Structure formats: C-alpha cells, structure tokens
C-alpha cells in the first residue's frame, strides 16, 4: 500500500472477529524502573524481553498510520509501533501475518513479540528490530525467497486467513473459501467496487466491474490454483534488505491466495527480469499468466482509488474495459 511508507513500518491489519493471544506494546522512556505499571511496552521489555535497562528510544519511519520507535536496551534493540486510537486487533492481525511468514523459514521478516493495549487508549506491537543495509535488496534473491515462501506456506482450509486485516487502511476480508475465483471476485474485487460505489458514488465502475467478475472464469482455465501464503501488499516501501544483504519484507496484509496475486503491486515494486526469472525457477509460470496479470493489479488500483481519490480511477476502469473487450462481454 503506497501510502504507508516506513523504515520498518510493519503492515496494518484491521480489527478482526478472531481474538488471538495478545502480544503487547507501548511507548517507553530511557528511565524505566519507576514507571512500569504505566507503560506496558517498558514492562514487557524489562521482563519478558530480558532487558534490565532501556538506554535509548529513537523515532524511526512508521508510515502515516502509526508511530514507530526503536527501543535500545542492554539486551538488544526492539522495534515498537503504537497507535493511540485503534485497539489491539489491528496489531494482532499484523502479528499473525508476520508470524505465519516467519514460520516458513524462507524470506526474512521481523519476528513479532508482543501486542497489547496502551494504558488509556490505543495499542502497541513489539517486534524484532532489523538493522537495514544500504541497498533495497538483491532482485534475484528476493524472487527466489518469495517463491520459497509461497511454496512452503500452504493452507488446508482454502483461500482466506484466520483473521481479517487491512491493506493500507482499507479493511481486507479474509473469510475462508474453497474457490479462488469466488474468493477473489467477492472478497477482493467485489469489496473494492462496493466501496467505490458507496464512497465515491461511482456506479459506472461498480457495474462494469461486476460484469467482469461474473465473466472472468475463462482467465483461469487449465490451471491448478493452490492456496499460498501471500504478503499481500508487496511494493517497494515494504521491501528492503538487512545489513548482510538478505531480502526483508515488511508491513504485510497476509492471506492465502493464488501466488500470482502477490504481484498486484508490481506497478510500484520495481520487479525486474532477474526477480521473475528466479521466482519462476521455484514456482513455475502457469499458462495464461500474462492474461491474468492486470486482473491482480486491478485490486490495488481500486484500493488506491478508494483511499486517495480519482487519480487512480482511470487505471482501474481501463483494466476493467480491456478485460470486458477481451472476454467479449
């Protein structure tokens, strides 16, 4: 999601109907022992985080939704995000996504440690602090590692995710579904089209988009679609590298979906030939990949239209109209 740029700003997830064990976090000050009961972030760092002293707190880029800080301690550094107005569900969903990616043991992501409520209002998340390197990432290695995550992260429940989350600040519904075309049509394109109609009064894009959804099945003929763990919002602001040059991905909007949907933000991710070549060595390209590519861009163009306005409408409606002509409907 282009608007949520951050140095180590992890993804935003919306309140979910599923409540998992809470992982906690709040803003701390260098002098900690006197105020533990007032600051759950410091409290966790000085107990479960195994630190005895917080030696410094410095702000880092956290995007436009949350505040982000690095807590430096005698037990290492911790990355902390806080939001003063949203409850823990948002960060819980983010932590679940990060943990799912982390458990594949493929591409590097920050390990989540704790999520919880702030004392008065709002919430926090504490996670591993990753020191970034000078370059964004090695494209070939990024493609290979991402494909390995898609190959390792499978779901027996179908397409969806245990919790709803957000893409940027837009709710992303992840109710389990056994059919990918139905899932993508209803919970991805359909949801965004309804937002465009309700928020922007755009009945034209809604009606044309619904025609596309009802007629897009031929684009998926002769392929087998397995649910793969997706980052879900993979653009350049969410891709970096650690100090050893290994790719790191941040700010997820995770769900299990068709692996090709991961490239939906490629229009601002900068994926090059070496990325795709390495990716397809691990996850072979399926027939019709090029015909489906813009269908996955459409979800994110619609989301940007709903979030940031009419500047993205022309790209979205152009994709819809091109598919209606291609499908002759």
Location of structure tokens 């996504």: 97
Closest to 170 in 3D by CA, of 14, 22, 29, 48: 14
With contact defined as beta carbons under 8 Å apart, do 113 and 57 qualify?
no
Q: Which candidate in 39, 233, 251, 294 is catalytic? A: 233
The residues, any chain, with a CB within 8 Å of residue 79's CB and separated by 6 or more, are 8, 10, 60, 68, 69, 70, 71, 110, 126, 127, 128, 129, 130
Buried-exposed string 116-153: b where 16+ CB fall within 10 A, e elsewhere: bbbeeebbbbbbbbbeeeeeebbbbbbbbbbbbbbbeb
Alpha helices in the chain (DSSP H): 40-45, 89-102, 139-152, 180-183, 191-200, 203-215, 273-282, 289-308, 313-327
Phi-psi region of 298 (alpha: psi -120 to 50; beta: other; left: phi over 0): alpha
Tell me if residue 39 is catalytic.
no
Measured in Å, how far apart are the chain's first and last C-alpha atoms?
Answer: 31
Which residues does the annotation mark as catalytic? 233
């Amino acid at each position: 999601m282009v608007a949520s740029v951050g140095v180590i700003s992890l993804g935003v997830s919306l309140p979910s109907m599923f409540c998992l064990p809470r992982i906690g976090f709040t803003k701390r000050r260098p002098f900690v022992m006197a105020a533990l009961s007032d600051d759950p972030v410091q409290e966790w760092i000085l107990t479960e985080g195994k630190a005895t002293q917080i030696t410094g707190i410095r702000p880092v880029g956290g995007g436009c939704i949350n505040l982000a800080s690095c807590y430096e301690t005698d037990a290492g550094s911790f990355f902390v995000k806080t939001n003063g107005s949203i409850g823990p569900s948002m960060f819980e969903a983010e932590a679940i996504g990060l943990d799912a990616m982390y458990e594949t043991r493929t591409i590097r992501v920050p390990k989540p440690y704790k999520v919880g409520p702030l004392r008065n209002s709002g919430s926090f998340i504490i996670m591993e602090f990753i020191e970034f390197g000078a370059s964004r990432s090695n494209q070939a290695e990024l493609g290979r590692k991402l494909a390995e995550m898609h190959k390792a992260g499978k779901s027996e429940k179908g397409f969806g995710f245990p919790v709803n989350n957000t893409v940027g600040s837009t709710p992303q519904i992840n109710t389990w579904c056994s059919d990918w075309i139905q899932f993508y049509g209803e919970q991805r394109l359909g949801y965004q089209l309804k937002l465009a109609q309700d928020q922007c009064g755009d009945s034209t894009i809604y009606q044309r988009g619904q025609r596309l959804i009802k007629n897009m099945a031929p684009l998926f003929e002769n392929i087998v679609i397995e649910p793969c763990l997706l980052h879900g919002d993979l653009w350049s602001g969410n891709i970096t590298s650690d100090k050893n040059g290994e790719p790191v991905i941040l700010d997820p909007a995770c769900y299990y979906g068709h692996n090709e949907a991961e490239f939906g933000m490629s229009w601002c991710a900068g994926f090059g030939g070496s990325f795709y070549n390495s990716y397809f060595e691990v996850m072979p390209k399926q027939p019709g990949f090029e015909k489906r590519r813009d269908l996955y861009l459409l979800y994110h163009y619609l989301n940007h239209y709903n979030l940031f306005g009419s500047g993205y409408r022309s790209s979205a409606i152009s994709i819809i109209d091109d598919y209606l002509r291609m499908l002759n409907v």
